Chains A and B, each alone.
Chain A
């Protein structure tokens, strides 16, 4: 016999990512709004940069996605936080605390214990995609079907959600460390500018052809050790990286000639090229090979297999 309890918050936010935009000002719904925005931002980036068609991509689609990114970016700028949120799960001594302060309160919700509506807890993996494999198994998102928000399309397995975001969180991570104010724009502009000085290291980063492929490609690049995040999040060496160098090494740029984001001069400030060592350090999390001997976070192959099983198999 069910008691006449108060209406669960879960019902209210049932549409979660799908429903109408919740006002960004009310309490816990702010998280859901920002979460939704984050997801859409990530999806938009994936659409723009993962698509390698043989024919020219639709200009209309590109323009609409680009407008979406710009709008979100404007919002973020207005809110004062220049970077899309990413995991702040355990970052006690956050070197970039200035910028994190904004994000922290939002995440404190996620970090707090089970009084949260199931939906909020279950969406945590979207943000904390670099969790150890052992945690993935315990994660409610993976196990609770109620957490699947996707409607008509077959919902991608939670792993896929997490996997997709490893790329975007990589982008996020790098973006947030680049001092350019319009980091998202820089990403867009640089990728399309056809900057040929991008390094071959780009191949280490995922460029899946489609969602299915990303499922297999991504796990390789996921870092199971949260500690890595701290390392790469630290100040110093990443600030003078160019986005091109890291991300857009060997893009076939002929396709982007008519890309509206094409920037001949570059909206982002060009940063000084970085030394190979520094580059390698940042790429360590995304590479399945040990980069340098003193790199403490080599990917453990057995762990890798385990992750792949969890993400792809089940």
Chain B
């Protein structure tokens, strides 16, 4: 896995990079979410300016068998606009916090996108034909004088240049007092949940004027508030089960069949604190920034500031595996607290669930065997659960030629720095990779730096 090219290890190569080249980053261009659709053909990104850009994978080129199709812009639209809350005299950011795709049911594609307050269901449809030959209208749309019509004809559809249209089909608003951090579509494909800092609501995709509150952790006296909800997700197979994580490092699993308001969890996942690692920042770094179920639903993965943990849903008292993402930051927590980096919310993702992991699946009974997450200095990390090997790669325009295998990076925590290693003090903490996504079926990954989207794929031979 460490680029040695042995056996079934994946060798990652640079494929494409999208976005502006200049170092001066426009605030609106900051990427805030990345998500593949269920087939992997479409890749959506949301940014701070409220825009959604969807890339589509080219059909595989028969002549170029050594690379998979490239992703090109398919559709761009303004999903959310900035709003003003007059009651509180505050702006509501248009930044897209999350995008989730619905599985495809017909020719059109549907996705949910959300900012801090409002969720929208967008329909993305193609138009490649248009009717021509109207009787009362000219081709350019001007109306004809009816008295000039002497014959009648039936309009016919003729091909036209492909046009991709995005239209908002549902707007789910006014259900969240606090900032929405997660949306998750249920396995019934009819309902979905949205979670803010203190509450989780259940929606039906068809109904916008009503939503059911299923979790509420707001205390009667706000002064007593010490914990907030940080992420939530539905179980991939069980439509009545969901989990939510908190700022204190706990995950609660709830069953909606138990009661209408799931204030009492069915399971509470929490790892006891390691006393040798106690510091002022223990609580802050334990805050979970992302939670993702494995494909089978037997495991879930959580990301806190320094590590990724894999939990077996059958064991609540500790994770089954823990992977250190950037342990060398542990001695820098005070500075990271001061410059707010300690509050960065890194996401994590599983590998895709198809044939390339069949070797791994012999070892575990779960197809989810590799986890990926971001770090600083535009580094991102992958951990192979089976081989227990890990790798650090960098998303940068330098030294990235197509089909050249990415060079593994190494951070030197202390002591003598070897050649090609980077010392902790040289890391650029403004270059953070918070959002990554893995193609559901192939070894293609999308990695978002501040304002660029990198696509890497494995070396095909």
A and B contact pairs by CB, cutoff 8 A, 7 listed: A56-B90, A64-B283, A68-B284, A71-B280, A152-B427, A255-B89, A258-B178
Contact of A151 among B88, B340, B425 (CB under 8 A): B425
A101 within 8 Å of B (CB atoms): no
Knowing A59-B228, A60-B197 touch, does A257 contact B331 (C-beta < 8 A)? no
Residues of A within 8 Å of B334, CB to CB, are 17-18, 36, 39-40, 149-150
Contact of B333 among A18, A252, A255 (CB under 8 A): A18
- Complex CA gap A21/B247 in Å reads 21
Q: Are B197 and A59 in contact (CB under 8 A)?
A: yes
A202 within 8 Å of B (CB atoms): no
For residues 21 through 43 of chain A, which have their beta carbon under 8 Å from a beta carbon of chain B? 21, 36-37, 39-40, 43
For residues 242 through 289 of chain A, which have their beta carbon under 8 Å from a beta carbon of chain B? 252, 254-255, 257-263, 267
Contact mask for chain B residues 393-424; partner A; CB cutoff 8 A; 1 contact, 0 none: 00000000000000000000000000000001
A153 within 8 Å of B (CB atoms): yes
Residues of A within 8 Å of B93, CB to CB, are 55
Residues of B within 8 Å of A230, CB to CB, are none
Residues of B within 8 Å of A149, CB to CB, are 334-335
Residue ranges of B at the interface with A (Cβ–Cβ < 8 Å): 88-93, 116, 177-179, 197-198, 222-228, 230, 247, 277-280, 283-284, 287, 329-341, 343, 376, 424-425, 427, 429
Q: Are A151 and B222 in contact (CB under 8 A)?
A: no
A19 within 8 Å of B (CB atoms): yes
Residue ranges of A at the interface with B (Cβ–Cβ < 8 Å): 15, 17-21, 36-37, 39-40, 43, 47, 54-56, 58-61, 63-64, 66-68, 71-72, 149-153, 189, 252, 254-255, 257-263, 267
Q: Are B179 and A261 in contact (CB under 8 A)?
A: no
Q: Are B228 and A60 in contact (CB under 8 A)?
A: yes
- Complex CA gap A263/B221 in Å reads 9
- Complex CA gap A122/B91 in Å reads 43
Residues of B within 8 Å of A64, CB to CB, are 247, 283-284, 287, 343
Q: Are A151 and B424 in contact (CB under 8 A)?
A: yes
Q: Are B179 and A255 in contact (CB under 8 A)?
A: no
Contact of B228 among A56, A63, A72, A261 (CB under 8 A): A63
- Complex CA gap A58/B278 in Å reads 25
Residues of B within 8 Å of A252, CB to CB, are 89
Q: Are B283 and A20 in contact (CB under 8 A)?
A: no
Residues of B within 8 Å of A39, CB to CB, are 334
Known: A54-B90, A151-B425, A152-B332. 7 other contacts (CB 8 A): A18-B333, A55-B91, A60-B287, A64-B287, A67-B283, A68-B284, A260-B223
Residues of A within 8 Å of B225, CB to CB, are 63, 260
Knowing A15-B331, A54-B91 touch, does A60 contact B280 (C-beta < 8 A)? no
- Complex CA gap A21/B335 in Å reads 14
Min Cβ gap A269→B in Å is 16
Q: Are A21 and B283 in contact (CB under 8 A)?
A: no
- Name B198's closest neighbour in chain A (CB-CB): A59
Contact of A59 among B178, B277, B284, B340 (CB under 8 A): B178
Min Cβ gap B346→A in Å is 14
- Name A17's closest neighbour in chain B (CB-CB): B334
Contact of A257 among B88, B227, B425 (CB under 8 A): B88
Q: Are B223 and A263 in contact (CB under 8 A)?
A: yes
Q: Are A151 and B332 in contact (CB under 8 A)?
A: yes
Q: Are B287 and A254 in contact (CB under 8 A)?
A: no
Q: Are A36 and B280 in contact (CB under 8 A)?
A: yes
Min Cβ gap A69→B in Å is 11
